[in-house]
Structure 1
């Protein structure tokens, strides 16, 4: 079994086995896989204690050659009462490991999972929320929007091909902008509203870490505690290589990115 490297000083979470209970196409480019934990008590214990909307898990995805590949995904709609949840996968034909697995997944298939982790939930005391990302960040952004009260103000920027667009939960004052390129430019184009902003920006590492983060922290002067910004992937790197890159970035900057 191929596993992600264990970070020094962190205790490895136990593995929970999940069974596929259904699949569907959220859009032409997204596959939604419904899952149920075989150990309902363990699921309730781990997910019931998590209030984060960016909950993520490490999936051990079985491959046709009998190996397993570990990939990180955001969890949607975890229900401790039924030990169920969903995960959405971007599918680009036969490219990669996770998308093809999701495309061929059938009811009764099983896979192992570690988690959840997470670090963000929208602060309801903020005056407005800025949520931005690409297809990788889309599930966490959807979860954040669903957690906002109806009275909240949200500005959302999403980078994705048109066939990957999905319906989003909205508040009474939500504006959504879909773009096909230049996420940092689209974020800068958002009208900056008065009051305290609370930001969540996740997606391709170069775009969010070098394009958006300096804009929010330096130009807009947001406190670090009011910004959740991180790369979910990096162009040209596998997840294993991306983890190495993130570790190097944290070491060079002396913070958690």
Structure 2
């Protein structure tokens, strides 16, 4: 399956919004109005100089080409799916010229093709929860933005988001009673603890909370440890995933992520 780039915009200096459409998305089963709000697709980007072009079958490429020509796989949250128009919106975080998907997105132009599979998913704000907590950074912003739109009217939802500064903030809205705070990095050592400290400073509401905690590995681990160990959240009431890790490339992080998650799970009995 593949999408044709229809438009690209930059909602913030570090975010590229791709709108994909075209016949290559025929049969795409995007999340419906009541679907999971963290739905994601796996995109496949060929390395520079690859002897093939999109559209391609990633499995066929792996079967017929040496490893150095295999496409690089990355996972991105579906920001929006317009089934009537057949248009898929993805928000891609770009950190300079490093990585694979970010630079591809920054250079993308209408008519370019992006090969993808999915979607997969696993989270939607629980309508029976008394209130909601959503915590993350730019990498979690698309999922949090989509999730906010699914919070029932009037239900409290507390959001703490870490970013590089005011220019990196996005306008967010929700039918719920939104308590949103942006936390800005300063470039110092305190950046690594700012998110966990913001969550620790919260005064929790009464009743069961449903939490979504995604972002940088060590920051998310600290938030998770606090919520489970000190706030007494049940594991089943929290969606938690380390999307990336500071000082590591995507490839290096993917190589150790499984072990990191196992260690994180073992933090608390």
TM-score, length basis structure 1:
0.85
The Cα of 1:96 is off from its aligned counterpart by 2.1
Alignment of 1:1-257 (within 5 A): 16-36=1-21, 38-44=23-29, 47-48=31-32, 51-66=35-50, 68-162=71-165, 163-180=167-184, 181=191, 182-209=194-221, 211-251=222-262
The Cα of 1:50 is off from its aligned counterpart by 8.1
| Root mean square deviation, CA, Å | 2.3
Larger CA deviation: 86-95 vs 24-33: 86-95
Q: Which consecutive unaligned segments of at least 5 residues does structure 2 have? A: 51-68, 185-190
**Residues 222 and 89 of structure 1: CA distance in aligned 2, closer, same or farther (over 3 Å):** same
Contact 1:53 1:147 in 2 (8 A): yes
The Cα of 1:250 is off from its aligned counterpart by 4.6
**Residues 49 and 238 of structure 1: CA distance in aligned 2, closer, same or farther (over 3 Å):** farther
**Cα distance in 2, alignment partners of residues 127 and 142 from structure 1:** 20
**Residues 179 and 84 of structure 1: CA distance in aligned 2, closer, same or farther (over 3 Å):** same
Cα deviation code 1:220-240 (max 9, x no counterpart): 111111111110111122333
**Residues 64 and 148 of structure 1: CA distance in aligned 2, closer, same or farther (over 3 Å):** same
Q: Which consecutive unaligned segments of at least 5 residues does structure 1 have? A: 1-15
**Cα distance in 1, alignment partners of residues 92 and 261 from structure 2:** 28
Cα deviation code 1:94-130 (max 9, x no counterpart): 2222221111111000011011111110001111100
Corresponding residue pairs, total: 239
Q: Which has the larger radius of gyration?
A: 2
